[in-house]
Structure 1
């Protein structure tokens, strides 16, 4: 059902309609966004009159440079309308047609933005979990994922090894640190990617922080300029409101909110063990580990999405399988560093998950009900 990209769009639009309906009935307090991607637009009143096409960049670009370099390291930063836009701009700018984009990850598969960018650049693509594997001689760009979509975090020693190996071959390194720029540094005590020698690093300003959905790239000034130039050609750069909100979010970033998630996670896991796997800032549930949902004929992605839709429609709990962009991981993950997690009692979350799984066991034998549940 979800292998069709059009159905992925229908699934997401159905979830957004459910959110709208719950908002109409319960207001914002009836929604609990546990995606870790809730983001925000933390503008000050004084910012509002400056969000103009040319005045905005003149004011907020300077603020972003200071806050961005403090957060990411590097010589310069640049803002993009999404992390995927930043990755596409870098791949288009730094690769030659026919060359290879070589991608290291702590766990496969990659976020689709990397292989799709390589395809658009007419470059070959290879991804691996083996951090000792040497890139081929025709490699034009090495990409390293700092933290996967399911929050598997790279070891700092592996990251350093790949950076040194690529530099010995004269190849630039881009670290896709979408959530890793905070997970790696705050929870795992690792250094910033640029401090480890990465030529470029990019993060999502809505992941584990209260910023807008956008991409912030940092790194060597000469490479940032080249990537920005490519972004301008295709309209991939961030616009003034996004830049302003990014700068404010970086200024307001509070690492203690991520640390608080550890306490919530420990409390949840004390009384809820079956089928649950820990993540750095919460937990995830794999359908294959849930009794009664196996052997149904549906894929794990479809079962995760069905549970996610029930959590949303019945309890107002937002998770990625329901609302994520097409191609995003369908792992049923609950991020307890999300701001809304502080409003949701652990016992209420436990009860909601049990309720959704129980309701799904009654729906899953009926193909038409499953289709309506997922696609509307």
Structure 2
């Protein structure tokens, strides 16, 4: 038999060597998954793996390790996708890690709302149906100075809902510098188009004045939309009107002033060494008719979009058909209510994790980092370094906070575990129990203390010990 004939027969031999599904299910490393996932699911995954293996073989590739592949796929199904993670990246509001962790009280309220019946739309005293927003509207009013408030599922939905309610078929004025993409493909021009409104850009990329808005107003104009630069900056030769100036113009000309504030700050960030982030209270005081912002950024609550403003306008937004499609569920409402009460009681800095991290003194962070290093000293020598943490989550672009990190250089890693690289150590920590997400910089693994919750310190140390010296 010639070489070509032998080559042609190889795929057939590899295909015949693939195990049957029934054989796979009986293997000691596969059989336990049937109890955890159900035999039907295991059979389906096995069939998919075998089909993919056949495709690879017919494409001329070497036969894969089917058992190992199947075990990996089944393990991924058992392990929860949204399992808790230790954030050691130094990014406080980390979008890829779920943005803001909520307070213990908010988490408990969300759990209770999820596992039990709640008085969501019933007035217990009268037994009659009631509005789900009554509590939150009152809390938002007390906190922001607005007449009323409404909570939907995220800020993109809040902006779309407001524009759809008031601006469909009409023109909306937006500064050219604010016709931006905020994140995740959320573009202001696209949102305006989806709402049925017509975008009218005014001013220039770097300089816009009140007169630019005034000159663009026609009989078709219904609103001015102001969009806060929440995730970028324009510096140098720039100009933007104050919100109160736009409010005066809008009121004089009979227009609505809608403010997309984004981050939802309720506290003065300048008090913590950061640039001043406009607060919701300031936007209402400046005369905005409606203000939209996120619940899971600087507010520090669960994912939500919040709209506050004049009562008559909020009521119209609530009645819009789209409001039901984007409304928040009971768990988000419960967590948001508790978060707002933290602010009303003046305890947000102590209770809301985002603000605990922002406010943490550098001396306390250094002390915690030294404790990590001391507990790991018998297996690895880490360096305690000064670094910079960021707020993240589309808030305070370019702003940093001084922080402290445990740095583990590549050379140190290699001495402790020969052959282990920085990237591989970072990967092993990410897939460990619990997962720890750090950052690799200058051939070092950095674990930033500011974004690690104090109650996670022991778990982080133990995760490192398991990776560096498996038990």
Please tell me the TM-score bracket, short chain as reference.
Answer: 0.5 to 0.7
- The TM-score, its normalising length taken from structure 1, stands at 0.59
Residue of structure 2 aligned with 1:235, choices 325, 330, 345: 325
1:182 pairs with 2:284: no
Q: Deviations over 1:167-210 (max 9, x none)?
A: 33322111112214336577538661111111011221111244
Alignment-derived partner of residue 256 in structure 1: 349
Residue of structure 1 aligned with 2:256, choices 172, 188, 193: 172
Q: Give the Cα separation in 1 of the matches to 2:427 and 2:225.
A: 34
Q: Give the total of aligned pairs.
A: 290
Alignment-derived partner of residue 217 in structure 2: 137
- Cα RMSD for the two superposed structures: 5.0
Contact 1:200-1:220 at 8 Å conserved across structures: yes
What SS is found at the alignment partner of 1:55? coil
Structure label with greater radius of gyration: 2
Q: Which has the higher contact order (CA 8 A, sep 6+)?
A: 1
Contact 1:211-1:245 at 8 Å conserved across structures: yes
Structure 2: gaps of 5 or more residues: 1-72, 94-98, 124-128, 367-384, 389-395, 403-425, 440-446, 461-471
Structure 1: gaps of 5 or more residues: 1-16, 284-307, 320-333, 349-376
Change (3 A) 1:98 1:165: closer
1:116 pairs with 2:193: no
113-122 or 187-196: bigger deviation: 187-196
The CA deviation at 1:223 is: 0.9
What SS is found at the alignment partner of 1:92? helix
1:316 pairs with 2:436: yes
Alignment-derived partner of residue 298 in structure 2: 208
Change (3 A) 1:336 1:142: farther
The CA deviation at 1:81 is: 1.2
Q: Deviations over 1:258-306 (max 9, x none)?
A: 37526568989x9448xxx9744649xxxxxxxxxxxxxxxxxxxxxxx
* Structure-to-structure mapping, 1:1-376, within 5 angstroms: 28=84, 30-32=86-88, 34-36=91-93, 37-40=99-102, 41-44=106-109, 47=113, 49-51=116-118, 54-55=121-122, 58=130, 61-97=133-169, 99-103=171-175, 109-110=181-182, 112=186, 114-125=188-199, 126=201, 129-133=206-210, 134-135=212-213, 136-138=216-218, 139-150=221-232, 158-182=242-266, 187=271, 188=276, 192=281, 193-230=283-320, 232=322, 235-253=325-343, 254-256=347-349, 258=355, 261=358, 271-272=386-387, 279-280=398-399, 282=401, 316-317=436-437, 340=452
Q: Give the Cα separation in 2 of the matches to 1:110 and 1:335.
A: 27
Q: Give the Cα separation in 2 of the matches to 1:59 and 1:225.
A: 11
